[in-house]
Amino acid sequence: MRILVVEDDPKTGDYLKRGLTENGFVVDVVRDGIDGKFYATTGDYQLVILDVGLPKMDGWKVVADIRKQKDTPVLFLTARDKVEDRVKGLELGADDYLVKPFAFSELLARIRTVLRRGKSVDPEVFKVADLELDLQRHRAFRAGSRIDLTAKEFTLLALFMRRTGEVLSRTFIAEQVWDMNFDSDTNVVEVAVKRLRAKVDDPFEHKLIHTIRGVGYVLEDRAPQS
């Protein structure tokens, strides 16, 4: 998966490249709008991450020019947090709009959402290690025995399993599970994950839900550490 990052701030560009590369993407970073437009329209990228305030040509113009030639998904990454800017970005054809400062895990989650859009179809049953989630019958099993989950706990677990191996930020979880589209200063997500763990992980030796402190949570089958 190749991603083009158009970002004039060197520090941001560097950590985006490092972070995305470590997550399995091939990343090119360019520093201005002209280069961005050239690479995006001539290169073969699955996604373009675009800043708005760019030298030589701003991001609005770049995305408009890309859209004239290609359907490459574009994700805006900008400090402009006004609703009008967000609407403008999406109207110009961007696929998502993320406001700085943002959590890297959040960016990753959104990149994967954009890339996955219109592609994957959920399997009927998710399976990670000995944890199974039957979407159709709305049931969860661990080591063969049924786990009793509330509706939201089920949605939360389904999110984790659909995104196995991906670190999910609290904001992203709140948005996906409860449709809370603003940052709230509560620790609802922590408590919800804790309660889910109590049912899914606590009775078992092998833990599946892991906390990445300061980043979020991930569900994956980690090899038992000695």
Partner 1 sequence: MTQRRTGSDSITARLALLFALALATLSLAAGGYLYHALTLDLTSRDENELHGKMALAIEALTRLDSLEAVDTRNSELAHIVVGHDRLTLYVTGADDRLLFATGHPRIAASARAALLESAQPQMFATHPDSVRALGSRAALRSGATVALFIESNTAETDRLLAGHLREIVLAVLLSAVLGLGAAYAIARSGLRPLREMADTAKLISVEQLDQRLSVESAPAELRELAGAFNAMLQRLQDSFTRLNEFSSDLAHEMRTPISNLIGHTQVVLSRNRSADDYRAALESNMEEFERLSRMVGDMLFIARADNAQTRVTKLPVDLRAVALKMQQFYEPILAEKEVSLSVNGDGRIDAEPLMIERAVSNLVSNAVRHAEQGSEITIHIQDGQRATTLEVSNRGQPIQPEVKGRLFSRFAHADTDGRSDGIGLGLAIVQSIMKLHNGAVTVDSSAHGETRFVLSFPPSGADARAA
Residue ranges binding partner 1 (CB under 8 A): 81, 83-84, 101, 103, 150, 152, 174, 178-188, 191-192, 194-195, 213-215
Least distance to partner 1, CB of residue 59, Å = 21
C-beta separation of 60 from 34 below 8 A: no
Least distance to partner 1, CB of residue 36, Å = 26
Question: What gap in Å lies between CA 172 and CA 186, rounded to an integer?
Answer: 14
Kindly calculate the radius of gyration of the chain based on its CA atoms and give it in whole angstroms. 19
Structure tokens at 91: 């109207």
Q: For partner 1, which is the closer residue by CB, 92 or 103?
A: 103
Question: What gap in Å lies between CA 174 and CA 122, rounded to an integer?
Answer: 21
Q: For partner 1, which is the closer residue by CB, 22 or 84?
A: 84
Q: For partner 1, which is the closer residue by CB, 38 or 102?
A: 102
Least distance to partner 1, CB of residue 199, Å = 12
Can the peptide bond before residue 101 be classed as cis, meaning omega within 30 degrees of 0? yes
Q: For partner 1, which is the closer residue by CB, 6 or 16?
A: 16
Least distance to partner 1, CB of residue 26, Å = 26
Question: What gap in Å lies between CA 213 and CA 222, rounded to an integer?
Answer: 17
